[in-house]
């Protein structure tokens, strides 16, 4: 196996706070180990188009505290075609890139796997606020997003208390309820609606609200993951109509994607960036960096793509019990 000489680093798919910390870690670790590091802008599209620049230690100065990604990100339909992959491979040769660190989610790993089959050495770093990557317990951006949502819940709760209202908050997670179930616990919600679980409005939402009122509650919070059927606005309308309690919907939207990353996201991103470079340097090929049992490890890319994880039932139960 030939030694690697030059790493290309890109961010792909949805952005997440902490991606900058990961880019910084890849660049500085690469330089530390005597490698060239090339920054590829706008995900796989940038590789196809040659939107590439050599990075120095200074290119990543002053970014650890910033959300988003300085390399920007994109969804690249072209990269899913054979022609796009061949173009990307040819462009990598032009810039002397022999290995690729892809920071993103499952979709980005599929792209990484496809280009690895053409001979590129790839390593993936999990970056998504949704925490919906099967092979790892932790993804970069998740902790920051949780804290952003928590801050919003606390603010909304102040006004909900004053007006004796019910607030219905729609949080991110099209297919995964990690954010929703965790903030339902940390935010003291009466009910949480998850994409993984079918729900019954009367039993799962209206009943706990009415019972709570009868026990003396003066404000109510319902968390709705964006992926569930029946959006926050309709659910709020139904609550108002059926309970007489004024309900207001708030859709947090992209506010959850931005902001300065938490300490945890910065440290984890730094650890994963270093690990990605060390894996490549020591001959690891086509691997995914993961965090399991509080340890940063690397897994086979194909195997990692097959791994699924379920939302822990204990969290759902905990959320229910705590809402009494």
Residues forming the active site: 130
Pick the closer one to ligand ADP by CB: 107 or 259: 107
Pick the closer one to ligand ADP by CB: 128 or 219: 128
Pick the closer one to ligand ADP by CB: 69 or 219: 69
Spatial distance between the Cα atoms of 307 and 304, rounded to a whole number of angstroms: 5
CB of 43 to ligand ADP, least distance (A): 6
CB of 321 to ligand ADP, least distance (A): 33
Task: Tell me which residues touch ligand ADP (CB under 6 A).
Answer: 12-14, 44, 75-76, 79-80, 104-108, 110-111, 114, 128
Pick the closer one to ligand ADP by CB: 92 or 168: 92
Spatial distance between the Cα atoms of 12 and 192, rounded to a whole number of angstroms: 30
- Nearest residue to ligand ADP by CB is 107
Pick the closer one to ligand ADP by CB: 136 or 219: 136
CB of 93 to ligand ADP, least distance (A): 20
Cβ(37)–Cβ(28) below 8 Å = no
CB of 111 to ligand ADP, least distance (A): 3
CB of 58 to ligand ADP, least distance (A): 28
- Sheet containing strand 287-292, edge to edge, reads 52-54, 36-40, 6-11, 99-104, 121-126, 287-292, 295-300
């Amino acid at each position: 196996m030939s030694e690697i000489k030059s790493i290309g680093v890109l961010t792909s798919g949805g952005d997440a706070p902490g991606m900058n910390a990961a880019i910084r870690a890849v660049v500085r670790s690469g330089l530390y180990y005597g490698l060239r590091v090339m920054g590829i802008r706008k995900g796989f599209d940038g590789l196809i188009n040659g939107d590439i620049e050599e990075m120095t230690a200074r290119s990543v100065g002053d970014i650890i505290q910033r959300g988003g990604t300085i390399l920007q990100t994109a969804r690249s339909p072209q990269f899913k075609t054979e022609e796009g992959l061949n173009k990307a491979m040819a462009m990598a040769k032009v810039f002397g890139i022999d290995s690729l660190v892809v920071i993103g989610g499952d979709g980005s790993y599929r792209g990484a796997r496809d280009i690895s089959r053409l001979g590129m050495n790839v390593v993936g770093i999990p970056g998504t606020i949704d925490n919906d990557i099967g092979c790892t317990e932790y993804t970069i951006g998740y902790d920051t997003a949780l804290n952003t949502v928590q801050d919003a819940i606390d603010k909304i709760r102040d006004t909900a208390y004053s007006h004796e209202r019910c607030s219905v908050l729609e949080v991110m997670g099209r297919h995964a309820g990690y954010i929703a179930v965790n903030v339902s616990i940390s935010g003291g919600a009466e009910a949480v609606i998850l994409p993984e679980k079918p729900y019954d409005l009367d039993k799962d939402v209206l009943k706990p609200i009415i019972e709570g009122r009868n026990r003396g509650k003066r404000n109510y919070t319902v968390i709705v993951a964006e992926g569930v059927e029946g959006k926050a606005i309709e659910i709020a309308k139904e609550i108002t109509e059926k309970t007489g309690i004024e309900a207001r919907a708030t859709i947090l939207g992209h506010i959850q994607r931005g902001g300065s990353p938490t300490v945890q996201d910065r440290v984890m991103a730094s650890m994963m960036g270093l690990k990605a470079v060390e894996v490549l340097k020591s001959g690891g090929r086509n691997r995914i960096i993961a965090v399991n049992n509080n340890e940063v490890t690397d897994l086979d890319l194909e195997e990692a793509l097959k791994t699924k994880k379920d939302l822990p039932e204990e969290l759902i139960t905990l959320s229910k019990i705590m809402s009494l």
